[in-house]
Structure 1
Amino acid sequence: MASFTIEKRKTSAGEPRYKCIVREKSKGKIIHNESKTFRKNQLAESWGKKRVGELEASRVTEIKNTVTLGTLLNMYFENHDLWERTGRTKQYVIKMLIDCDIAKVTSNELKVSDLIEHCTNRRDAGAGPATIYHDVAYLRSVMKEAYPVWNIDANYKIFEDAVPVLIKMGLVGKSQRRTRRPTESELDKLRNGLETRIENRKSGMAQIPYLDILDFSILTCMRVGEVCKITWADLNDAHKTVIVRDRKDPRKKEGNHMIVPLLGGSFDIANRQPNVDDRIFPFNPRSVTAGFQRVRNDLGIEDLRYHDLRREGASRLFEKGYSIEEVAQVTGHRNLNVLWQVYTQLFPHKLHDKYLE
């Protein structure tokens, strides 16, 4: 509570002065202290009352709404503008967090110990450090939106103290860098399996050209979502390039368009597709991935993801002698360090071929 006192003093010339001291206490401790000197007592008293009123008003505006984290996560889920722009992984994590014990904690009372308990429970349930890190990162992201979007107080800054502790305890961490590339034998098996899948499809149904999409994905280093999004209008026949729109970039969600060269036989693959839609490959990327996964599983090929084809394509370009800047023009990486560390896995025996060139 704020209050003021006035002390009367005299200058060296004997003139009266009135010093107004404004203090505010909370739980017996002084949390604010200021003073100002006036020639007249009336002015000092008027200033003191004004400052006390201002301090009291500021404390009232600092009292914000609070809800449980579960309620906050549900509010995020129900907000169309936020939810529709959220990736599938983050959506899955948010839905999972709603059912966790940490969802019962009040939004402005989250403690480091609460996060440690949650991460420990997740670890004991079989989740790895990289998976648990998603819990922490996405919870912080939602809490950071709480005040500007809903005027709800959420102490998201607690994560600054929590993350170093969680890392030290081994509860959270980065995912292991994947180095998986398909072998030539595996690619041959995949092509045969995908060809069989195409032949077994019922006539009259839209046939997904799995073989063309597989080879196109490797040659262009595109994500399957990007492959199924490019349009005929963005294809440049003269330059053998295509515009990939809204390419994934952690710093820019939309408008990240790139002109990508269609190297190798990728330009011919694109042009031999039937022009029956605005898109060159007018298929649901999830359906393409699902078909790939079914064939992969039937063949017994282990630990191979569709996204590994992107690494395969980038590694092939490096093996052919392209510079990292040139490869980045194909893959779309802004961070060359990430490109080299994550999307490159060179086969040592390929160096013999390069030496003989």
Structure 2
Amino acid sequence: MASYSIQKREKADGTVRHRCLVRVKKNGKILYTEQRTFTKYAAAEAWGKDRVIDIESNGFATEDTAPITLGSIISKALTDENIDSSIGRSKRFCLRLLSDCDIAKLNLTDIKPHHIIDHCKLRRSAGTGPSTIAVDVSVIRWLLRIAKSNFGHEVSQISVIEAYDALYSQDLIAKSGKRSRRPTTDEIERLKVGLAARADQRAAHIPYIDLLDFSILSCMRIGEVCRITWDDVDEAQKAVIVRDRKDPRKKAGNHMLVPMLGGAWEILQKQPRNDARVFPYNERSVTAGFQRVRNELGIEDLRYHDLRREGASRLFEKGYSIDEVAQVTGHRNINTLWQVYTELFPKRLHDKFKD
């Protein structure tokens, strides 16, 4: 029995897209899937209805006859429970973006290095940065890998591998640049004034200042802050369990007991206990409010995530060692913290030699 469903999705720039997913099921088993994304709900609905009628009348192509496109592998990945559960938010966003690109329409066996390069050129012409485009390439390579390992298609990653030299030499892709941005004392004070005014103007009150201070003192990502529950709070040790902490080697179950240093514990304790979560707010609403105030103040090149680096820097300045800071920030690989430390104290070896 063929059916369709439509999901509304909001992009980072605020525009809304509607993804129509057509499926054929029999006895609870999915026999066929197909999807397209539209800017208008009515267009998505019309396409879904037409495809259902066509499939009911004429049937659908089987695995043996249907061309296996990159887009079809994206659909399979997103509807496979084991794969979908291992995908993070960033990769899922990239997969949905790729599904709307021309490269998704190509048969897997037809993809050549120049197709990868053409895709990257199109992304660059749209204003996308090299480090973001590099994520596209990495995800395309991952799709080719699971097409073989998970779905049994005889395809190779060689097209991506052979494209790398050209992509790097033409500056179409690049590794993410290391950030060292810290807010100045003046910027933080101005942000607090602006955030307080915004909080007073909103019907749904968000304690922006508490969240900003807590984010710095705890060195947590805003998503981690907004996931803390009162059950996660350890009163005896003045610590909280941070669940599913980001780790490239482990997508879920990476829980850590993190000490609340400085004034973080006091900020946590003063929050009202009328919800299971300590900070029961949508992380996107918090960052959107921060960005709005930041832009109004004319503060340039400052991201909410930079507050995490600010917190780590303050701990180093107070004399905490790298392994002690890592216990707060949750870094498994201390190379990132080492870079922060060396940026703060570039002359430490000279000073030690003088002693």
Q: TM-score, normalised on structure 2?
A: 0.73
For 2:299, the aligned partner's letter is: I
Q: State the partner residue of 1:312.
A: 310
Aligned residues of 1:246 and 1:257 also touching (Cα < 8 A): yes
- Structure-1 separation of matches of 2:291 and 2:122: 31
Once the two structures are superposed, the pairs formed by residues 1-357 of structure 1 within 5 Å of their partners are 67-79=68-80, 81-83=82-84, 85-202=86-203, 205=204, 207-341=205-339, 345-346=343-344
Structure 2 distance, partners of 1:335, 1:153, is 36
| One-letter amino acid of the structure 1 residue matched with residue 217 of structure 2 | L
**Which deviations, in whole Å up to 9, do the C-alpha atoms of 1:38-73 show, x marking residues without a partner?**
xxxxxxxxxxxxxxxxxxxxxxxxx99851223222
What is the SS of the residue equivalent to 1:150? coil
Give the Å deviation of 1:225: 0.5
Amino acid at match of 2:323: E
Assess if the C-alpha contact under 8 Å between 1:311 and 1:344 holds in 2: no
Q: Which amino acid aligns with 1:94?
A: L
- In the alignment, the residues of structure 2 paired with residue 92 and residue 313 of structure 1 have an alpha-carbon distance, to the nearest angstrom, of 28
What is the aligned residue count?
284
Query: In terms of Rg, which structure is larger?
Result: 1
Contact persistence 1:66–1:108 (CA under 8 A): no
Seen in structure 2, the aligned counterparts of structure 1 residues 239 and 299 have a Cα distance that, compared at 3 Å, is: same
Of residues 278-287 and 184-193 in structure 1, the stretch that sits farther from structure 2 once superposed is: 278-287
Q: Is the 8 A contact 2:88 2:251 kept in 1?
A: no
Specify every segment of 5 or more residues in structure 2 that has no aligned partner in the other structure, as ranges: 1-63, 347-355
- The one-letter code sitting in structure 2 at the alignment partner of 1:108 is T
CA contact (8 A) 1:311 1:345 kept: no
Amino acid at match of 1:109: D
Distance 1:291 1:251 in 2: 32
207-216 or 122-131, which deviates more: 122-131
Query: How far does the alpha carbon of each residue in 1:303-327 deviate from its partner, in whole angstroms, 9 at most, with x for none?
Result: 1111010011011111111111111
CA distance in 1: counterparts of 2:145 and 2:317, whole angstroms: 44
Conservation of the 8 A alpha-carbon contact between 1:109 and 1:155: no
Which letter does structure 1 place at the counterpart of 2:236?
A: A
Deviations 1:279-329 (A, max 9, x none): 111111111111111221222212111101001101111111111111111
Does the C-alpha gap of structure 1 residues 81 and 198 become closer, same or farther in structure 2, counting only changes over 3 Å?
same
Contact 1:310 1:343 in 2 (8 A): no
Q: Could you say what secondary structure the match of 1:263 adopts? A: coil
* SS in structure 1 at match of 2:241: strand
TM-score (norm 1): 0.73
Q: What do the CA deviations read for 1:9-60 (whole angstroms, capped 9, x no partner)?
A: xxxxxxxxxxxxxxxxxxxxxxxxxxxxxxxxxxxxxxxxxxxxxxxxxxxx
Structure 1 runs not aligned, ≥5 long = 1-62, 349-357
Counterpart CA distance in 2 for 1:150 and 1:342 is 43
Contact 1:64 1:153 in 2 (8 A): no
Q: What is the distance in 2 between the residues matched to 1:154 and 1:343? A: 45
Could you tell me how far 1:79 is from its partner in structure 2? 4.1
- Cα drift, residue 344 of structure 1: 7.3
CA distance in 1, matches of 2:116, 2:138: 11
Does the residue aligned with 1:260 lie in a helix, a strand or coil?
strand
Q: Which moved more, 1:338-347 or 1:285-294?
A: 338-347
Q: CA RMSD in A?
A: 2.5
Contact preservation (8 Å) 1:123, 1:132: yes
Q: Is the 8 A contact 1:194 1:292 kept in 2?
A: yes
Aligned counterparts of 1:232 and 1:93: Cα–Cα separation in 2 = 34
Aligned residue for 2:20?
Answer: none
Give the distance between the partners of 1:142 and 1:343, measured in 2 at CA: 37
Shift of 1:236: 1.6
